[in-house]
């Protein structure tokens, strides 16, 4: 595997600057394409799975986190509060409290459950500068998060469906889990005290894992402060494991925020919150994709999907027309003209591009394309239209 920090800079995906600060990388145009494409894939997968998206601010009053329990159990990882006109606001360390408040802002009937609320939003963690590097330990995080408000009876099915979303996203991204982990509470004071709820939540997640047929390991001391979780672990280039995806069962925050729905009996009932993330933070997901693929992303994620290589200046107008045809279809195509170097040099330069389209005199004359794949495989010269029709729209297809 590759080191994403080195490769990310070489490929012009992201970088950092001491003036912006440690742990605050910025994304260059090619990196932004990968990031946006991944975000759009996630939103699309969530829409198809019945999630509705919301947007909420990255700041909240300190009181919000006192209610959620973050202030008591998670403060060491939060930025210091900012004083603002007699009150304090903080950069949020998670999206859950905002979503609980959004749920609470409207009354809900049991008919609306499970209510699946999703957001790809910013959050912040006050990582110490000593552990920062690349995209894996950052202070500003774009989190793929969702909260499912549901009845106790619906938890197992919702958690299993979340695991299925994770499985299909990993297949599309060409990555695989190193390990599934059932993360339970350990010794010490960082957890909220509610032994009955912890037991119930752990039993539910165990049932989901057992039914899924996945192999997993139960580990104490890795739970969230409010409840146990299923963590999907991936390994980096040095073999270090980290959590990319997660499914959590939470009885705590619905109580703290006094959440309700009206049941078939007309009375008020408490929903359960299932927290789940398909790819965790966008930063960590892209870091992992860079390391696994060495920059040769699956075609649907590639910053440039097709490079168009006219052999000589004579084919330049034809190549330019073909490039515009690709762009009109929504493909990310780039023209690499002869003044950039010999055909061999230009192919080497575009070695990570999934489709390398060579256009010589014969191709230009008959509106054909000769295509090389990045593994060196060559496709027979074929009509340009036919080739493009065969490609489809390259949106989240596995290459």
Q: State the residues that interact with Zn ion by CB under 5 A.
A: 96, 275
Output phi, psi for 6, to 5 deg.
-70, -50
Q: Shortest approach of Zn ion to residue 336 CB, angstroms?
A: 45
DSSP states of 97-126 as a string? HHHHHHHHTS--BGGG-SEEEEEEEEEE--
Three-state DSSP at 71 gives helix
The SS3 of residue 260 is coil
Q: Which is nearer to Zn ion, 278 or 347 (CB)?
A: 278
Provide the 10 A C-beta neighbour count for residue 242: 16
Q: Would you say 181 or 275 has its CB closer to Zn ion?
A: 275
With contact defined as beta carbons under 8 Å apart, do 350 and 340 qualify?
no
* CA 13 – CA 153 distance, rounded (Å): 44
- Residue 7 CB: number of other CB atoms within 10 A? 19
The SS3 call for residue 57 is coil
| Pick 74 or 322: Cβ nearer Zn ion | 74
Smallest distance, Å, CB 251 to Zn ion? 13
Nearer to Zn ion, 180 or 226 (CB): 226
Identify which of residues 93 and 310 has a Cβ nearer to Zn ion in the complex: 93
Shortest distance, CB of residue 237 to Zn ion, whole angstroms?
A: 29
In the complex with Zn ion, the residue whose CB is nearer, 110 or 225, is: 225
At 248, list the tokens. 């959590």
Angle at 58 between CA 132 and CA 120, to 5 degrees: 80
Q: Please state the closest distance from residue 94 (CB atom) to Zn ion, in A.
A: 6
CB of 226 to Zn ion, least distance (A): 9
What span, in angstroms and rounded, lies between the C-alpha atoms of 351 and 374?
6
**Ramachandran bin of 85, using left for φ above 0, alpha for ψ from -120 to 50, beta for the remaining angles:** left
**How far apart, in whole angstroms, are the C-alpha atoms of residue 168 and residue 146?**
17
- Per DSSP, 227 falls in state B
How far is the C-alpha of 152 from the C-alpha of 254, rounded, in Å? Answer: 12
Smallest separation (angstroms) from Zn ion to the CB of 102 = 12
Q: How many helices (H) and strands (E) does the chain have?
A: 13, 20
- In terms of CB distance, is 37 or 281 closer to Zn ion? 281
Q: Work out how close the CB of 247 gets to Zn ion at its nearest, in angstroms, rounded to a whole number.
A: 11
Min dist CB 5 to Zn ion, Å, is 28
Report in angstroms how near the CB of residue 101 gets to Zn ion at its nearest.
13
Would you give the DSSP letter of residue 79?
P
* CB nearer Zn ion, residue 31 or residue 97: 97
Which is nearer to Zn ion, 274 or 285 (by Cβ)?
A: 274
Of 120, 139, 40, the C-alpha closest to 394 is: 40
């Amino acid at each position: 595997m590759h080191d994403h920090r080195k490769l990310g800079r070489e490929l012009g995906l992201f970088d950092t600057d001491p003036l912006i600060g440690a742990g605050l990388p910025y994304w260059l145009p090619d990196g932004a394409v990968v990031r946006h494409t991944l975000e759009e894939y996630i939103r699309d997968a969530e829409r198809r799975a019945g999630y509705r998206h919301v947007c909420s601010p990255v700041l909240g009053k300190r009181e919000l986190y006192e209610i959620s329990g973050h202030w008591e159990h998670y403060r060491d990882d939060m930025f210091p509060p900012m004083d603002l006109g007699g009150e304090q606001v903080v950069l949020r360390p998670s999206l859950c409290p905002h979503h609980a408040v959004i749920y609470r802002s409207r009354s809900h009937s049991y008919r609306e459950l499970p209510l699946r609320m999703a957001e790809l939003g910013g959050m912040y963690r006050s990582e110490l500068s000593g552990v920062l590097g690349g995209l894996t330990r950052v202070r500003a995080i774009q989190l793929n998060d969702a909260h499912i408000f549901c009845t106790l009876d619906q938890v197992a099915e919702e958690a299993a469906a979340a695991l299925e979303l994770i499985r299909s996203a990993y297949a599309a991204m060409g990555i695989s889990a190193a390990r599934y982990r059932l993360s339970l509470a350990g010794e010490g004071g960082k957890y909220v005290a509610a032994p009955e709820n912890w037991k119930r939540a752990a039993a539910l997640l165990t049932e989901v894992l057992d039914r899924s047929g996945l192999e997993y390991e139960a580990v104490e001391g890795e739970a969230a402060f409010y409840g146990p979780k299923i963590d999907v672990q991936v390994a980096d280039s040095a073999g270090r494991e980290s959590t990319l995806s997660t499914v959590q069962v939470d009885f705590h925050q619905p109580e703290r925020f006094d959440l309700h729905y009206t049941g078939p009996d007309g009375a008020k009932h408490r929903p359960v919150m299932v927290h789940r993330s398909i790819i965790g933070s966008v930063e960590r997901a892209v870091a992992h994709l860079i390391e696994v693929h060495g920059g040769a992303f699956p075609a649907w994620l590639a910053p440039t999907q097709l490079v168009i290589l006219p052999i000589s200046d004579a084919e330049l107008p034809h190549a330019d027309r073909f490039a515009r045809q690709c762009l009109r279809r929504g493909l990310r195509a780039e023209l690499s003209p002869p003044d950039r170097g010999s055909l061999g040099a230009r192919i080497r330069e575009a070695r990570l591009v999934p489709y390398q389209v060579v256009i010589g005199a014969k191709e230009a004359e008959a509106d054909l394309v000769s295509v090389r794949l990045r593994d060196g495989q060559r496709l027979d010269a074929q009509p340009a239209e036919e080739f493009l029709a065969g490609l489809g729209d390259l949106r989240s297809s596995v290459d």
